[in-house]
Amino acid sequence: MGKIRLLSIIILCTLLCISSLTVGGQQVGAVGYNDRPSTDNALGLQVKSALLIEFETGQVMYEVNPDEALPIASMTKLMTEYIVMKEIENGRLAWDQIITVTPEASDTHPSESQIYLATGDQHTVEELYIAMAVGSANDATKALAIAVEGSIQAFIDRMNETADQLGLTSAVFTSVTGLEDSTMMSARDVVSLARTILIECPDFLKYSGMQEYQFRERDTAPIINFNYMLGVNTNKSGLKHLAYEGVDGLKTGFISAAGYNFAGTVERDGVRYISVVMDTRSKDARFLETASLYNHAFATFEKKTVIAPKSVVEGYEKVNIKKGVEKAIPVVTGSDVTVLTSKGTEAKVELVSADIMAEDELIAPIAAGTKVGTLNYKFMDPSGKELQYQVDLLTTEDAEKASWFKLFFRGLGNFFSDLFDSIMNIF
């Protein structure tokens, strides 16, 4: 009887242990993502932080706690990728340059994302870059960092210096891979870095949008892009439920302290958005939350051109010049002002000020297309933020210099006109 009771107690304890570890198929004791705090927000996103902006204007379209610095995990590699691309742009590195893997680069824990580089292996910069961008390979990332700065620590210093130069005030880099939870950024700074990359590095999306990559001929399978949201994944049976038309970047990230992060970008019908979600509840959730952001953006907002290029602005149709055949020359706007606004609403910009060159500075001859001033506008975006826009005023035609004969009689006429006005003012 005693043995039966003891056996019953053992079975009961075992069942209690199992139930404490597993709830709904998720190992809460091991990970605990269901316990992560979520932020109340209009879209119901289960995130700690999120931000969505329009690429061209930088307009903020949606935000959740965007300024809190959080661990960014492998989104750290966005900075590594940016620096490598700038090195290539400046001629200090080349895509076809051979890099020999050092012991520091090949020293990776088996649990890390990696391409299994060995000390002495040789690969091109481009091969290692793709392994980093597509497969988030930590060993490839370290190999590139060492190639650029000589050591990993020197490259980390470079990352922090670059962050300062870019005005990323929340950024703290303590690794090149993001494995340490002390590497942190806010959602606003992640999106700002991503926007800088897309502006300055036009080849970036060529790599971040790769569906897969065969790193070595002997590898039994290609590297699969961790960004399952890529639009090209509509042809992959296991990923098509996460694929989103127009997505072509950017970077995923995960460590226990950070949760599941994703910085993404999507383009449809000439409109590109950049987004980030931080500390989501699962690998798939980061893409589903991002899809909610994109669905909201495409359903809610539209681009409207409120000032067309080469348009005449009331009150600034002409500017006065000196010594020309004509006393004034017609001008038009040199560029457009296009804003993102809520669908079904009228977009209006307000002219705040005009900076027109003084007549004494505009002396004929003047060529068509010459900048003669700027108009300063402001626009209130859907989030209530005031945005500033500058539009150049350009001459529409050549202003030829008048002959000395014409200038003489014009001067004479001006003299008598001024004299008459002076006499009239006496009375």
Residues flagged as binding site for substrate = 251
Q: Would you call 77 a catalytic residue per the annotation? A: yes
Q: Would you call 186 a catalytic residue per the annotation? A: no
Nearest-CA neighbor of 264 among 278, 342, 343, 254? 278
CA–CA separation, 323 and 321 (whole Å): 7
Helical segments of 201-335, H only: 204-208, 285-300
Assess contact for 274 and 195: CB atoms under 8 A: yes
* Residue 293: exposure state from Cβ atoms within 10 A (0-12, 13-18, ≥19): buried
Q: Which of 48, 49, 113, 136 is catalytic?
A: 136
Q: Which residues are annotated as a binding site?
A: 251
CB burial readout 75-101, b (16+ within 10 A) else e: bbbbbbbbbbbbbbeeeebeeeeebeb
CA–CA separation, 383 and 366 (whole Å): 43
Q: Would you call 136 a catalytic residue per the annotation? A: yes
Structure tokens at 397: 């035609």
The count of C-alpha atoms lying within 13 angstroms of the C-alpha of 239, restricted to the half-sphere facing its C-beta, is: 20
N-terminal to C-terminal alpha carbon distance within the chain: 130
Phi, psi of 62 (to 5 degrees): -165, 140
Q: Which of 48, 49, 74, 186 is catalytic?
A: 74
* Beta strand ranges found along 289-403 (DSSP E): 301-307, 318-320, 328-333, 337-342, 350-356, 371-380, 386-395
Q: Please state the separation of Cα 79 from the chain's center in Å.
A: 12
Catalytic residues: 74, 77, 136
